[in-house]
C-alpha cells in the first residue's frame, strides 16, 4: 500500500478524527506481528487494551491541572530515571553521564509541558528552535509527515505547497487547538502517572549491523503494557538543525545509544495511554535528540497530536 492510499484509508475510517499518527510498521521503530489474521488480532488488541486499562487502576496519577511548570514534570521524571538506572551496571558512557541525563530530563519535561500544558505553538516552537531543532522543509514535511493530506484534513483548506513550512505547521496546530478532531483526541491531557510504575526509561546501545529497534521501558507494565498488540507513532514536524542523523552515524560505522521513555497519561476521553518518547544520543553534539513520539496499546484512532 502506498503512503497516500494508506493515510487516506485511515482518514476515511476515522472520519473527522483525522490522522496524525503514522504506524510503526511504516517507521520501522517496532516490529509488529503482521502474520496474524485480522479477526484473531482484533480480539487480542481488545484484550490487551482492557488489561492495560485495568493495570492503570493501581498506578497513582497527578492531575494535569496541578502541574504548574516543567520543573514539576522533571521531578517525576527524575525519580523514574533513578529507578531505571538501578539496573544498568555500566554507566561510564557519555550518553549516561550526569550532564547528558540532566539534558534529557530537562528537554523532555519542557517539550511535554509546552505541548500539552501550555498548548501554545509559539512557546513550543521557541523552545524547539532554541534547543537545536527546526521545522522540516516542505519537501520533508510531505515525504515524512504527509502534510499535503494532513493540512486539508485539519483546516478544511487545500494544501498549498508554496506555503512557508512554519506557517503550515502553525496553522495545523491552531486548527486542532480550536476544533479537536473527535473523541479520540489526545489534545487535552488530564493526568500523568507520578510514580515509577507508570514512568520508566530504558536504554540500548546499537551498533552497525544490529536490528534498529528501540528498547521497551521496564517496570511492572512490561512489554504487554507499554506496547500491547498495536502501536502508533505521531508526526514529528521537527528535526535537528544540523549534523548527521542516527542512520548516518550507523552508516559511518559508529554505535549509538537509544532511549525510550514511557509515561502513562490520561486524556480527555478518560482512557489511559502509554505515551512513548524515542530518543538517541548524538555523540557529535553530546546531547539526546528526540526522534519520535508515539503510543502503545492503541484501541482506536488518536488524532490531534504531533510534535
Does 240 map to a domain?
yes
pTM of the model: 0.83
User: So what's the pLDDT on residue 27?
Assistant: 38
Residue 161 domain flag? no
- pLDDT score of 20 more than 60: no
Which own/partner contact pairs does 211-218 have at CB distance under 8 Å and 24+ positions apart? Answer: 212/28, 212/250, 213/29, 213/30, 213/31, 214/29, 214/30, 214/258, 214/259, 214/260, 214/278, 215/258, 215/259, 215/260, 216/260, 216/262, 217/84, 217/260, 217/261, 217/262, 217/276, 218/84, 218/87
Instruction: Place 13 in a pLDDT band, splitting at 50, 70 and 90.
Output: very low
**19 within a domain of the structure (yes/no):** no
Handedness of CA 49, 299, 291, 117 (dihedral sign): negative
Q: Is residue 208 part of a domain?
A: yes
- What is the percentage of the chain residues whose pLDDT exceeds 90? 37
What are the tens digits of pLDDT across the range 51-109? 888 888 888 899 999 999 999 999 888 887 777 776 665 566 888 888 998 999 999 99
Which is more confident, 162 or 55? 162
Confidence of residue 39 (pLDDT cuts 50, 70, 90): low
Residue 159 lies in a domain: no
- Higher-confidence residue of 242 and 110: namely 110
**Does residue 127 sit within a domain?**
yes
Q: What percent of the chain lies above the pLDDT cut of 70?
A: 81
Domain for residue 204, yes or no?
A: yes
For the chain, the domain total comes to 1
Q: Report which secondary-structure segment, H or E, holds 7.
A: helix 3-14
Q: Is residue 155 part of a domain?
A: no
Taking 90 as the threshold, does the pLDDT of residue 277 lie above it?
yes
Q: Which long-range contacts (CB under 8 A, 24 or more apart) does 120-129 make?
A: 121/169, 121/170, 121/173, 121/174, 125/166, 125/169, 125/170, 128/238
**Nearest C-alpha neighbor of 21 from the set 13, 30, 11, 36:** 11
Distance from C-alpha of 150 to C-alpha of 171, rounded to nearest angstrom:
11
What range defines the domain where residue 224 resides? 62-133+186-295
- Residue 192's beta-bridge partner residues? 62, 265
Q: Which residue has the higher pLDDT, 303 or 96?
A: 96
How much is the pLDDT for 128? 95
- Give the DSSP H or E segment for 10: helix 3-14
Residues 183, 65: contact at Cβ < 8 Å?
no
Tell me the average pLDDT across 296-303.
75
Amino acid at each position: 500500500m502506498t503512503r497516500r492510499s494508506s493515510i487516506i484509508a485511515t482518514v476515511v475510517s476515522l472520519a473527522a478524527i483525522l490522522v496524525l499518527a503514522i504506524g510503526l510498521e511504516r517507521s520501522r521503530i517496532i516490529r509488529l506481528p503482521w502474520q496474524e489474521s485480522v479477526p484473531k488480532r482484533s480480539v487480542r488488541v481488545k484484550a490487551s487494551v482492557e488489561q492495560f486499562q485495568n493495570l492503570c487502576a493501581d498506578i497513582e496519577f497527578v492531575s494535569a491541572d496541578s502541574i504548574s511548570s516543567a520543573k514539576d514534570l522533571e521531578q517525576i521524571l527524575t525519580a523514574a530515571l533513578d529507578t531505571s538506572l538501578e539496573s544498568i551496571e555500566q554507566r561510564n558512557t557519555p550518553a549516561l553521564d550526569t550532564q547528558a541525563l540532566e539534558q534529557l530530563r530537562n528537554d523532555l519535561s519542557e517539550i511535554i509541558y509546552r505541548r500539552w500544558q501550555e498548548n501554545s505553538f509559539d512557546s513550543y516552537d521557541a523552545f524547539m528552535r532554541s534547543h537545536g531543532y527546526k521545522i522540516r522543509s516542505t519537501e520533508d514535511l510531505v515525504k515524512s509527515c504527509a502534510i499535503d493530506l494532513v493540512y486539508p484534513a485539519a483546516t478544511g483548506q487545500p494544501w498549498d505547497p508554496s506555503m512557508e513550512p512554519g506557517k503550515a505547521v502553525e496553522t495545523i496546530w491552531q486548527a486542532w487547538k480550536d476544533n479537536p478532531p473527535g473523541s479520540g483526541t489526545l489534545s487535552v491531557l488530564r493526568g500523568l502517572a507520578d510514580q515509577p510504575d507508570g514512568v520508566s526509561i530504558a536504554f540500548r546501545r546499537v551498533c552497525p549491523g544490529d536490528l534498529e529497534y528501540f528498547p521497551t521501558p521496564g517496570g511492572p507494565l512490561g512489554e504487554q503494557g507499554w506496547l500491547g498488540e498495536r502501536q502508533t507513532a505521531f508526526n514529528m514536524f521537527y528535526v535537528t538543525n544540523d549534523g548527521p542523523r542516527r542512520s548516518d552515524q550507523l552508516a559511518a560505522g559508529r554505535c549509538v545509544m537509544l532511549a525510550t521513555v514511557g509515561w502513562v497519561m490520561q486524556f480527555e476521553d478518560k482512557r489511559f495511554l502509554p505515551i512513548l518518547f524515542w530518543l538517541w544520543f548524538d555523540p557529535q553534539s553530546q546531547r539526546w535528540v528526540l526522534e519520535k513520539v508515539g503510543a502503545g496499546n492503541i484501541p482506536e484512532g488518536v488524532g490531534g497530536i504531533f510534535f
